[in-house]
Amino acid sequence: MGWQRTRTVLLHEGPFVSLCRDGVIRPDGSPDIYDHVVVDDGVRVVALDQHRCLALVEDDFYLQQRRVLHLPGGGTEGQDPRAAALRELEEETGAVAGELRLLGVIDPLPATTAARTHLFLATSLTPAAVSRDATEVGMTVQWRPIPAAIRAVREGAITEAGSVAALLLAEHVLRTMPPGGQAT
Amino acid sequence: MGWQRTRTVLLHEGPFVSLCRDGVIRPDGSPDIYDHVVVDDGVRVVALDQHRCLALVEDDFYLQQRRVLHLPGGGTEGQDPRAAALRELEEETGAVAGELRLLGVIDPLPATTAARTHLFLATSLTPAAVSRDATEVGMTVQWRPIPAAIRAVREGAITEAGSVAALLLAEHVLRTMPPGGQAT
């Protein structure tokens, strides 16, 4: 029968993070409480240029207290995930994608939040102006060949879950594509 | 200079999820607040038997309101990640691992929580008794060949971030291992 919800109480509502306490009936029939976090869905983009190099961005993360290397992306901010992916890519790297393919969707912390991260492969890139928002001050962009990005994942230089999953999925998709197949 | 913390207020302390509001100085020098979630670190395990099949478990997830297919694993519960990985593997599948190799560590939602997920490859398995806890009632185990598990990731049947990352990393490690190389 699975879990059943009996009520929801909003414990805290913040600008980016809210916390709810639900009354639940567990799958074994016993009553319980279940606290969960409400945050925005996310997007991450593997943006591949004509030299088969992809964009990585780096900026200061508060909770990790260090600069973090990751794929372009961020919160959907209420947009459709495809629109959010195109917006974040352009804001952070100045690239406009002509083609956008869904690589997959992951659940970053499914026992804690229902928020999902949507993973995309962007190709047919053309340059535009970078227009970072206030949270993206100090961000730098680099373009790396696919094998170098995969090596960065293997060596632990890229650890953000959406970036790790999108890079490994993109590598798998590109490697197993039929001869003459298009990435888009 | 990065971010600086000026104070921390515990907004809510729950059995599994706590919420903090920090006073911060942003990298651009402006003061702000930053809400973040404190949850247990996690572990996920690719457990590979002598037939090169790996264990997948399935159980009811509350927030997704469906059964979720994922790698054995869970919270560290204050243990060292290696010990937690061995415990969760044995509890959920009844397999005791003779060898345990770290595949990597990911940050599931680094802007929301500092919690990390530790990913392992377990080999040299021997059977033991399954001893699931109350949260694992209704869990089922299946052993699948590596390519079938990767296909499940590609097709969106496995979406939990730690499971996706660990499966793709394990596949990459096993595929690129030097001839005669050991997984452990």
Q: Does A61 touch chain B (CB under 8 A)?
A: yes
Dump the DSSP string for B25-74: E-TTS-EEEEEEEE---EEEEEEB-TTSEEEEEEEEETTTTEEEEE-SEE
% of chain A surpassing 70 pLDDT: 96
Give the single-character DSSP code of A15: S
With contacts defined as CB-CB under 8 Å, which chain A residues touch B140? none
B156 near A CB under 8 A: yes
**Span of A53-57, A175-179, B50-54 with lowest mean pLDDT:** A175-179
Residue A157 has pLDDT above 70, yes or no: yes
Q: State the DSSP H helix or E strand holding residue B98, giving kind and residue range, or none if neither.
A: strand B95-106
Task: Give yes or no for residue A133 having a pLDDT over 80.
Answer: no
Cα within 13 Å of Cα(A108), Cβ side:
33
Q: Considering CB atoms only, which of B2, B156, B168 is closest to A168?
A: B168
Residue A50 pLDDT: 94
- Per-residue pLDDT, B138: 87
| A62 close to B3: Cβ distance less than 8 angstroms | yes
Q: How confident is the model at residue A126 (pLDDT cuts 50, 70, 90)?
A: very high
Using the beta-carbon criterion (under 8 Å), do B134 and A28 form an inter-chain contact? yes
Using a CB–CB cutoff of 8 Å, tell me whether B108 touches chain A.
yes
Over range A106-122, report the average pLDDT: 98
Average confidence score pLDDT of chain A? 94
Strands B4-13 and B18-25 come out as antiparallel
Q: What is d(CA B81, CA B42) in angstroms, rounded to the nearest whole number?
A: 8
Q: Identify the pLDDT of residue B129.
A: 72
pLDDT above 90 as % of chain A: 86
Q: How far is CA A176 from CA A4, A173, B87, B145, in A?
A: 41, 5, 36, 18
Return the pLDDT at A34: 98
Per-residue pLDDT of chain B (184 residues; tens, 9 = 90+): 799 999 999 999 999 999 999 999 999 999 999 999 999 999 999 999 999 999 999 999 999 999 999 999 999 999 999 999 999 999 999 999 999 999 999 999 999 999 999 999 999 999 877 777 766 778 999 999 999 999 999 999 999 999 999 999 999 999 987 766 655 4
Alpha carbon distance A45, A118 (integer Å): 9
Read off the pLDDT of each residue in A155-178 and give the average, rounded to a whole number: 94
3-class state of residue A174 by DSSP: helix
Mean pLDDT value across residues A44-66: 97
In chain B, residues 20-59 whose CB comes closer than 8 Å to chain A: 21-22, 24, 27-28, 34-37, 39, 42
The pLDDT score that the predictor gives to residue B128 is 78
Q: What is the pLDDT of residue A180?
A: 62
For the CA atoms of chain B, what is the radius of gyration? 19
Give the number of other Cβ atoms within 10 Å of residue B169's Cβ. 22
Q: Is the pLDDT of residue A55 over 80?
A: yes
Nearest-angstrom CA–CA distance, B67 and A27: 11
Residue of A182, A181, A152 lying closest to A168 (CA atoms):
A152
What is the C-alpha to C-alpha distance for residues B100 and B75, in angstroms, rounded to an integer?
Answer: 17
Structure confidence at residue A1 as a pLDDT band (50, 70, 90): confident
Its pTM stands at 0.95
